[in-house]
Amino acid sequence: MRLSVSQALLVPFRTAGRGALVAVALSLTGGTAGGGAPATAAPTAGQTTSTSVQTATTSGGQKRVCVYDHNYISGLPKFAALVGRQTIDCAMVYTGSPDWAGWVNPWYLHDPDPDLNWAAWVRNSPANDRRQLIISQPLIPSGLAGTNWRSLGASGAFNTYAREFAYYLVSGGVGDAIIRLSWEMNYTGNIDNIGTTRRDAREWVQFWRNTVKAMRSVPGAHFKFVWCINNRYRNIPFSSYYPGDDVVDIIGDDVYDSGVPRGVQRWKTVDLSAGGFQDLIDFARSHHKPIAIPEWGVGVPNRSNLAGGDDPNYVRGIAQTVADNNVAFQTYFFAHEWARQLEHGPRSLGAYRAAFGNAGYADGPDDGTDVVAAGHAPG
């Protein structure tokens, strides 16, 4: 039986004092409660053609090395030093707001603390190294939880907010951001999940499509959109809630080492179980899309998370998957127990350095110059 693991996500908002944090109603979960029947699947709702299809191969992709480090820019060189890299030029942030005002103009675009102003970090990229910001963006602000937001979103009622969000991103100099829209949507604990009925899923898909199209309509927008599931949570056919090739650029899976009982092969379970990583890789390949691992980590084990502790085999499993496939990026979740375990797990840390440190075997050409050369920088 697979067990769920949750952790509260802290997002900084300006309150009293530097770096104050408030919790927002977002959750990051690995695994599933297992044993129950899967939710009723919706019919395929997305388009399957695209004017911008990337060719899937057995290897390739940027394989960009990224990190979430509790939101502080000053944490990037510290993480780089820990894992044996000269620099980290790709970072992930989260939007968390109870209202549309904070949803369309998030904290990381304008925070007065330079350690929290990620738009400025991107704008100040070195000439030969375009920094990459990955934004985890819910479909709605948390204040809309419990309303008929899916049907409203599907009708286009929120398209104006999506365009406004894109405008703020472009104006802030991050018109080439990677947008992880409504991440882990198959997890019922997230406020913007796909729901439990065919109608819920159909409306969610249309809302996702509307949001992407509205954001792309803004001049200067060169966003890449990630459709990212929660690994093994509710084994629902991916096609039943896939928004379509024309609105998805990258297919992602959040792949923590948690939710696997002691004595069970951890990487094999996460990778090869029904609804696991290999199933998603096959799905992405069939749609000619690169994959991503927007969240992963090795955690300090306890009774609630069933993480694996210092587990170099798990790290090598992630790394070999990155090395062998068309991968856009992978992001280590360097916070909470996932940070503590990597820092204090010499075998896992050694495996990470060998794979993703400078000249690591799973490290890609992530200096950012190809992004700029391709004309994807805003402006």
pLDDT in single tens digits along all 379 residues of the chain: 233 333 344 344 333 233 333 333 333 333 333 322 223 233 233 333 332 333 333 356 799 999 999 999 999 999 999 999 999 999 999 998 999 999 999 999 999 999 999 999 999 999 989 999 999 999 999 999 999 999 999 999 999 999 999 999 999 999 999 999 999 999 888 999 999 999 999 999 999 999 999 999 999 999 999 999 988 778 789 999 999 999 999 999 999 887 777 777 888 888 878 888 999 999 999 999 999 999 999 989 887 777 888 999 999 999 999 999 999 999 999 999 999 999 999 999 999 999 999 999 999 875 433 333 222 333 3
- Sign for the CA dihedral angle at 355, 360, 362, 365 comes to positive
What pLDDT does residue 175 have? 98
- Rounded distance between C-alpha atoms, residue 96 and residue 103, angstroms: 7
CB 134 within 8 A of CB 91: yes
Residues 6+ apart with CB under 8 A from 16: none
59-373 placed in CATH 3.40.1080.10: no
Neighbours of 51 (CB within 10 A): 6
- Rounded distance between C-alpha atoms, residue 291 and residue 307, angstroms: 24
Q: Which two tokens stand for residue 167?
A: 């405008």
- Rounded distance between C-alpha atoms, residue 174 and residue 177, angstroms: 5
- How many CA atoms are closer than 13 Å to the CA of 303, on its beta-carbon side? 0
- Rounded distance between C-alpha atoms, residue 343 and residue 339, angstroms: 6
Q: Which two tokens stand for residue 237?
A: 């056919």
The CA-atom distances, in angstroms, between 55 and each of 125, 183, 249, 289 are 29, 24, 11, 7
Give me the residues paired with residue 250 across strands: 226
- Rounded distance between C-alpha atoms, residue 323 and residue 364, angstroms: 9
Kindly report the pTM of this predicted structure. Answer: 0.83
- CA nearest 26: which of 193, 267, 178? 193
Burial environment of residue 8 by CB neighbours within 10 A (0 to 12, 13 to 18, 19 or more): exposed
Chain position carrying tokens 């979103």: 153
- Rounded distance between C-alpha atoms, residue 288 and residue 310, angstroms: 35
Residues 6+ apart with CB under 8 A from 330: 63, 64, 65, 66, 292, 293, 294, 296, 318, 322, 356
The CA-atom distances, in angstroms, between 74 and each of 81, 121, 134, 220, 368 are 12, 11, 17, 29, 20
